[in-house]
Amino acid sequence: MRLAGNVIWFVFGGAFTALLWLLGAAVFALSIVGLPLTRAAIEMAKLSAFPFGKDVVHVRELDGKGLTPTTAVTGTVGFVFNVLWLLTFGLALCLSYLVLGVIYCVTIIGIPFGLQCFKLAGISLWPVGRRVVSLELAQAARRHTAEERYARYRGR
C-alpha cells in the first residue's frame, strides 16, 4: 500500500515539491555557511518525494542526548538557520503544500494525500534538526523518549 501511495504521490505533486526542496538545497549549498540547511533540505526532499511509510523526528529523539554545552550551541545555530529557511524557502513550500492539501482533500480518495501535504507543510517551516526515518523507528524513538521522561518524573 505504501508503494502505491508513494507512486501516486510522486506523479501528482511529490516530484514538484521535492524539486523545490532541492532548489533550496542548491541555493544554500553555494555558500559554506548554508550547509546545515542543505542537509536538512535534502532530507526533506526525500520525504517530499515519497512520504508514505516515513515520518520526521527531531535529532535529539534519535540520539538520546540531553542538554549539554554542545547540544545547546547546535540548537542555537539550528534555530538561526531555521529562521533563515523560514524567511527564504519555508513560506513558499508551506503555501505550496497547503494548496496541494486542499486540492487533494476535495475528493475522498485524495484525503490521505492531503493529510501528507498538511504534515509536510508544518515540517517545511522548520526543517533543521529533523531526520526522515521509517514510521516504526519514529514510533520507537518517541516511545523511548516518553519512557525516559516518565522515569524521570517518577524518580522525583
pTM score, two decimals?
Answer: 0.80
Provide CB contacts within 8 A for 117, sequence distance 6+. Answer: 13, 97, 98, 100, 101, 104
pLDDT in tens, 23-38: 989 988 998 788 888 8
pLDDT in tens, 43-102: 889 899 999 999 999 888 888 777 777 777 878 888 888 898 899 888 988 998 899 899
Per-residue pLDDT band for 156 (boundaries 50, 70, 90) equals: low
Sort 43 into a burial class: Cβ within 10 Å, 0-12 / 13-18 / 19+: buried
Sort 156 into a burial class: Cβ within 10 Å, 0-12 / 13-18 / 19+: exposed
- Delimit the domains of the chain by residue range: 2-155
